[in-house]
Structure 1
Amino acid sequence: GSKLALWQADFIKKEVEKRYKNLSVQIKIIKTKGDKILDSPLSKIGGKGVFVKEIENALIESIIDMAVHSVKDVPTDIPSELDLAAIIERVDPREVLISKENVKLVDLPKNSTIATGSLRRRAQILSVREDFNFVDIRGNVDTRLTKFYQSSLQGIILAKAGVERMGFGDKISEVLSEDICLPAAGQGAIGIEIRKDDEAISEIARNLNHKSSQISIKAERTFLKRLGGGCQVPIGVLARVVNNKLLIKGVLSDLMGKKIIKKEVSGEPCNPETIGILLAEKILNSGGEKIIKEFE
């Protein structure tokens, strides 16, 4: 029910109605656990699934025909009756810094306090600025920005896609390079989840799918699943298809960004799952297994 979720649902509604003139799409707002519990970090209240469980239940019960998600919120294991059938063309998946004085990350004062609840963002940023402190701010993009501007905090890290979709692109102080902070699996992408046995909706989803975005997302989600990490482990990944090659970079870190493993691989786009697993194995065999064990 957040403003961003409504923006995404409305975007898909318009895309469907543009292609199917005889169809009228109704939006049904479903409040999820993640929308309701705003005083705890995601890693404490159940991770990514808190934004999708109630929506998936409505899909299984045929209350709705199509679920629209931020792909980064969708767990790698989805109910067997459902299918993440389409990925809309992905927008820039990188992170942004918004700071009070429009200061870049490297120029923020020593011991600055930054708003982000994401362990992935914290760990990667600590590896380049170990003096930073972090606090969690939950809520919609606009709620978080309002809280930030009313606070004494020096900066806030958010996904570029959400900031721009909500019309706050002019507030961005810096787009963080992938070398500083790799995004979450699926960041910047909207996904459509449907019932596997619904042929009519499946055809609609196929017509909205963006092939190279789907290939990249499959590789990223397979990588994440093989590492076995959700919100509780700092994992970043970014895949893209370039010149008919699938390139994927991944990072795994301890909580403080002291032990950080970055690797990349490439391969044929027709095998995204294989490429994702290959990268995960490379990281696990380079000390990643030890880091994952520390979280168990």
Structure 2
Amino acid sequence: MITKIRIGTRDSELAIWQANYAKKKLLSLGISCQIIKLKSEGDLNQITPLYDFGVSGVFTKILDQALLNNKIDIAVHSLKDVPVNLAKGLEINCVFERADPYDIVILKNENIDLSDPLTIATSSIRRKTQWLNKYPNHKIVPLRGNVGTRINKLNKNNWDGAIFAKAGLDRLSIKPKNYSVLNWMIPSAAQGAVAIASKKDNLDLNKILNSISCKKTFHCVQQERN
């Protein structure tokens, strides 16, 4: 019988929120939890654009290694960051109910006219491509870091706005004054969903994870990632 679970997570504010959400679900089953924080390659290097790393899983690899080396029992992820092909021996048995999947643009002030030539910050190729397709007269500048860091960079730089995932802001109760939901922008597969990875051969643990998973969200993101 499993009485304690070691939860692995990145150490950003949003990642810790997600780990605590998983912890709350497990505590409701009478299982004690320990949160173990790790820094990913993507966290340590917040300058290089993600597409220049040349590998997938820059936010998840360190947690995969910890799972395989039995340093943690589960890893909590933003599912959009998880490669479709997981490391050998790992699987996802739990996906929590999805938050808002859309992106938003935070603007410096309410008087900004999107038809004007503007500078918008994002390091996502997906967001950049779609934004410039809609606003070809705009300039895109790179923006890396966790949610709080990116908001601070937006405030300190001479940019007009920046693009964020709405789910992350909602989970951290960050309510920007001037923003628009980009319901025309196709979100990343599984955006807004939090998932738990574990070892395939840990059958008892995986039964527990499956019991707290949102079946509807699990099916939906599975289709998006296939």
Structure 2: distance between partners of 1:191 and 1:8: 9
* 2:94 is aligned with 1:86: yes
Residue aligning to 1:289: none
Matches within 5 A, 1:1-296: 1-18=11-28, 20-21=29-30, 23-46=31-54, 48-102=56-110, 107-108=113-114, 110-171=116-177, 173-177=179-183, 180-222=184-226
Bigger drift between 109-118 and 89-98 goes to 109-118
Amino acid at match of 1:60: L
- Higher RCO by CA contacts (8 Å cutoff, separation 6 or greater): 2
**Is contact 2:109–2:178 with CA below 8 Å preserved after alignment?**
no
| Ranges in structure 2 where 5+ consecutive residues have no aligned partner | 1-10
Structure 1: distance between partners of 2:46 and 2:222: 30
Residue aligning to 2:6: none
Secondary structure, counterpart of 2:37 in structure 1: coil
Amino acid at match of 2:18: Q
Name the one with the larger helix percent.
Answer: 1
Q: How many residues align?
A: 216
Secondary structure, counterpart of 2:71 in structure 1: coil
Structure 1: distance between partners of 2:189 and 2:211: 23
Structure 2: distance between partners of 1:64 and 1:103: 49
**Is contact 1:108–1:154 with CA below 8 Å preserved after alignment?**
no
Secondary structure, counterpart of 2:76 in structure 1: strand
Residue 8 of structure 1: CA displacement?
0.4
Structure 1: distance between partners of 2:108 and 2:156: 10
Amino acid at match of 1:155: G
Secondary structure, counterpart of 2:27 in structure 1: helix
Residue 46 of structure 1: CA displacement?
3.4
Residue 152 of structure 1: CA displacement?
0.9
Residue 164 of structure 1: CA displacement?
1.2
**Is contact 1:96–1:172 with CA below 8 Å preserved after alignment?**
no
Task: Note the alpha carbon deviations across 1:146-185, whole angstroms, 9 max, x for none.
Answer: 11011110010000001111221244511111xx211011
Cα RMSD after superposing both structures = 1.3
Task: Note the alpha carbon deviations across 1:4-40, whole angstroms, 9 max, x for none.
Answer: 111100110011101x22x210000011101100111
Judged with a 3 Å threshold, the aligned counterparts in structure 2 of structure 1 residues 102 and 79 are, in CA distance, closer, same or farther, namely: same
Secondary structure, counterpart of 2:162 in structure 1: strand
Secondary structure, counterpart of 1:69 in structure 2: strand
**Is contact 2:42–2:59 with CA below 8 Å preserved after alignment?**
yes
Residue 103 of structure 1: CA displacement?
5.3
TM-score, scaled relative to structure 1: 0.71
| Ranges in structure 1 where 5+ consecutive residues have no aligned partner | 223-296
**Is contact 1:93–1:159 with CA below 8 Å preserved after alignment?**
yes
TM-score, scaled relative to structure 2: 0.92
Judged with a 3 Å threshold, the aligned counterparts in structure 2 of structure 1 residues 80 and 124 are, in CA distance, closer, same or farther, namely: same
**Is contact 1:96–1:173 with CA below 8 Å preserved after alignment?**
yes
**Is contact 2:56–2:83 with CA below 8 Å preserved after alignment?**
yes
Structure 2: distance between partners of 1:194 and 1:183: 26
